[in-house]
Chain A
């Protein structure tokens, strides 16, 4: 089954403790992206990657890092999480005409 898999689904952490949210796709898509969803703001793009070793900032990249060492994986790294990064995060991949989204990671930073 074609899918985008994110882990974990839920995460509660403390301010400043580094964390990684993993994302993997099995569709051989070149394009992958991370979004955060906040009430009233919709889905805002954090980072995207057009291919392996090619990443670029989206609209809200501050406080986040990504890497794309292989085509299927696109982890999101929060080096020093802060409470304003409490949000619902979605990973997505695309083969050209729209995104396939993962199920989301709800992150709470206390």
Chain B
């Protein structure tokens, strides 16, 4: 059973609009979350993180929201750009147990010009 779920395999958004990527987790011990972005033929690259002591973290066009009671986080990209087209992975860890991250299956975002 997957501990980190991304139920939308793909998402298409018009350039300039908001992209919302969702992630759900089942392990209530998770307390640190990351989003990674992956282009074809490249390794995943770190995008943004959030600790469970916060419910929001922003970095430029990217904002991650965490709802601990719902075990849900979301990544908002505003405004979306064609260069944002990639696969996005959500990852979670239990910080006191070291640096092992559990990854979701990914969501492929396509931003249409």
- Residue from A31, A90, A104 within 8 A of B99 (CB atoms): A31
Kindly name the residue among A4, A40, A41, A99 whose own CB sees the greatest number of chain B CB atoms within 10 A.
Answer: A99
Contacts of A82 in B (CB 8 A): none
**Is residue A19 within 8 Å, beta carbon to beta carbon, of the partner chain?**
no
User: Using a CB-CB cutoff of 8 Å, which residues 53-103 of chain B contact chain A?
Assistant: 89, 91, 98-103
Given A48-B100, A94-B99, also A42-B43 (CB < 8 A): no
- Residue from A92, A98, A100, A101 within 8 A of B49 (CB atoms): A98
Contacts of A99 in B (CB 8 A): 36, 44, 46, 99, 101
Task: Report the bound CA distance from A31 to B95 in whole Å.
Answer: 14
Contacts of B100 in A (CB 8 A): 33, 45, 48, 58
Q: How many residues of A contact B (CB 8 A)?
A: 25
Given A94-B99, A98-B34, 11 further pairs, Cβ under 8 A: A40-B105, A42-B4, A42-B105, A42-B106, A43-B106, A45-B102, A48-B100, A50-B98, A97-B32, A99-B46, A103-B41
- The 14 listed contacts between A and B (C-beta, < 8 Å) are A40-B9, A42-B4, A43-B89, A45-B100, A94-B99, A97-B32, A97-B49, A98-B49, A98-B101, A99-B46, A100-B46, A101-B45, A103-B42, A104-B41
Contact with B along A46-84 (1 / 0, CB 8 A): 001010000000100000000000000000000000000
* Chain B residue nearest in CB terms to A32: B99
